[in-house]
Amino acid sequence: MTDGGIAPDTTRQPGRRRAEKPSRKRPAERPAPRSRRTRETVARTGNGLDEPPLPRISLQSRTGRLLIAAAGVLLLLGWFVWYAMTPEDLPTTGKTVSAPGVVGTPLYVGMFSASEGFDRTLRVSGVKVHATTSADLEITPLLCRRGTVGVTTRPEQFCSELVNPEGQRLVTGDSVVLRLEADAPVVAVVDQVRIAFREDVRWDTKPAGAEQAIVTFSARPDPTQPTE
């Protein structure tokens, strides 16, 4: 008891519950579920606080397209160079031409013939000749138009014309002839000729024709000497 009034009874009575004010606290929010890509990223980076993964190279990017284009250009360029430097071989034979001549008279020896079935057009840039001789010997390559020469001193009987082959076209029916001149007796072995040519966009230097020619220039008989 207190002075001036009665103290409130705070003892809970059986069968009674004390009314409580409702709480105004907001319920705890659940974290939003992570997407599959986020989970994969966290799995790759450990705890998610490490450095992000390197971006993958996409072929759809500008750099990827440029790399593919550059590779294609290099491949095409390599194929073109290979094609341009590998024309078909020219016809060759294992034949040896025997060519006797007389000092002071030009001798014409056929070394290559574009016979029937050749079916090609070559732009000749030169004919290379190599010979082993016992004395001085002048050798000049010529192009025989519409004709074929074996061994002769009168090529006009077989060729419509004889021209310098450099810069000329060589077609079916034409042939390559060597003009040989000597001022003294000489023996020579002429190797297979090599023709430098261009065909469409291709070019090369190829061996052609007979394997070799053996040329012999004898001294001209002295008319003042009696014959037996």
Digit-coded pLDDT (tens) for 72-105: 888 888 877 777 777 899 999 999 999 999 999 9
pLDDT score of 1 more than 50: no
pLDDT at residue 22, as a whole number: 56
| pLDDT tens profile 166-199 | 999 999 999 999 999 999 999 999 999 999 999 9
Q: Comparing 78 with 213, which gets the higher pLDDT?
A: 213
| pLDDT tens profile 109-162 | 999 999 888 999 999 999 999 999 999 999 999 999 999 999 999 999 999 999
pTM over 0.85: no
3-state secondary structure the chain: CECCECCCCCCCCCCCCCCCCCCCCCCCCCCCCCCHHHHHHHHHHCCCCCCCCCCCCCCCCHHHHHHHHHHHHHHHHHHHHHHHCCCCCCCECCCEEEEEEECCCCEEEEEEECCCCCCCCEEEEEEECCEEECCCCEEEEEEEECCCCCEECCHHHCCCEEECCCCCEECCCCEEEEEEECCCCEEEEEEEEEEEEEECCEEEEEEEEEEEEEEEEECCCCCCCCCC
pLDDT score of 2 more than 50: no
* Sequence ranges of the domains in the chain: 60-87, 96-218
